[in-house]
Amino acid sequence: MPPTYKINPDRTKPWNDIPELPIAADLYKSTAVLEQLVTARAALARLQGRSIAIPNQGLLINTISLQEAKASSAIENIFTTDDELYKAFSDQKYQSAQGASKEVLRYREALWAGYDYLQSAPGFDLKYFVDMYQEINQASDGIRPAFLQTVILQGGSGVNAGQVVYTPPRGNQIPEKKLQNLIEFINNDVDYHIDPLIKMAIGHFQFEAIHPFRDGNGRTGRIFNIHYLTKSGLLDFPILFLSRYIIDHKDDYYNLLSGVSQRGDWQSWILYMLKAVESTSNITYSKINQILAVKEAILDEVVKHKDIRRPEQLIQLIFTQPFTKVKHLEDAGLYAEKTARNYLNKLSDMGVLERRSIEGGHYYLNLELYRILSE
């Protein structure tokens, strides 16, 4: 007899009986899962190997994490244009950023705050999850109170729009206990020795099912995915563009989450997450190679201009983010203001940068970097 999984029989009632982790291995172990696991691990290892060979990690840290933040926020219908986002990041004025750009930058700040926290913490804990939620939402509370009538409604404008599709656990200390079980599962690799990619997929579902916070659970869960990969040693930096796959397959994402709670279909969910790792590893790997290739080509051209001092440092800096300002070159200690402006104008004349005046500010857009990130 195959193992059974206690599903959620009534989606309108709190699922207080979410089975604790670990789940039985037979619920997801199959030839299809193992084959997809091998493919996903290979793609992720290739990305990791490429990233550690890059001397300028800021190229990855700034550019890829901004795209991840944008995509993850878009899943929650928080949309911003590339120009708005890159300008806000370039200005480094996160608190004064407006609307969707501000929310996306909060996600990026949470991405790096959590990464830094886990560098010294022995593992995941309640503080980590609360910190991520608070950073994303600029909130001061923690686990949602027992009296809160939290439900997940069907989105869109179809005939089922507004109907309850899931009700997370509710009651005194129930979400806290479920979350503590999840924390024990993801931290304990001795008793729960499971491949990290499969463990990540299981942990992500469990977190979304617990739904411990008032808001921002989806974004917190996606940040957790990336942090688990870095904490497990599969990535040095949180650069996997994982939300790209989810937004491209958004309906499948939500349907497969429901497939676990309603039918106990763990295999389809885990296959989806493994394919997401494979696909986004390949996309990120390709973007890194494109960025490095065009960076070297531009440097070769700039070096020909003997009147530009320290060309390597200059080109490296304009590839750490799409929008560059004169102040960035000054703050980096490269040049004085007049020289910095002169060099950026020369790069504009060469077609490397494009001068833009936005709300009274002067910016220089790296055209090729912008193009690659926007694809």
Would you give the DSSP letter of residue 353?
Answer: E
The mean per-residue pLDDT over the stretch 250-270 comes to 95
**Is 315 found in the same domain as 280?**
no
Residue with tokens 């930096």: 237
| 91, 145: one domain | yes
Determine which one of 211, 249, 305, 362 is catalytic: 211
Is there a binding annotation on residue 312?
no
In whole numbers, what is the pLDDT of the chain averaged over residues? 87
Highest mean pLDDT among 5-19, 153-167, 264-278: 264-278
* CATH code for position 99: 1.10.3290.10
Question: What does the alpha-carbon distance between residue 150 and residue 108 come to, in Å, rounded to a whole number?
Answer: 26
Q: Is 211 in the active site?
A: yes
Judge if 46 and 104 occupy the same domain.
yes
Per-residue H/E/C for 134-145: HHHHCCCCCCCC
Is residue 328 in some structural domain?
Answer: yes
Same domain, 251 and 134: yes
- For residue 248, is pLDDT > 60? yes
Q: For residue 296, tell me if it sits in a domain.
A: no
Lowest mean pLDDT across 83-92, 251-260, 344-353: 83-92
Q: What is the pLDDT of residue 211?
A: 96
Q: Is residue 16 part of a domain?
A: no
Residue 254 labelled as part of a binding site: yes
Output the pLDDT for position 94.
Answer: 44
pLDDT surpassing 80 at residue 222: yes
Q: Could you tell me the residue range of the domain that residue 335 belongs to?
A: 304-374
Q: Is 80 annotated as a binding residue?
A: no
Mean pLDDT within 256-285:
96
Same domain? For 246 and 360 the reply is no
In a domain, 15, yes or no: no
Distances (CA, A) of 231 to 126, 226, 360: 16, 9, 43
| 263 in a known ligand binding site | no
**How far is it, in rounded angstroms, from Cα 115 to Cα 239?**
11
The response to whether 370 counts as a known ligand-binding position is: no
Residue at 31 is within a domain: yes
Pair of tokens at residue 124: 């995941």
Does residue 5 lie in a domain region? no
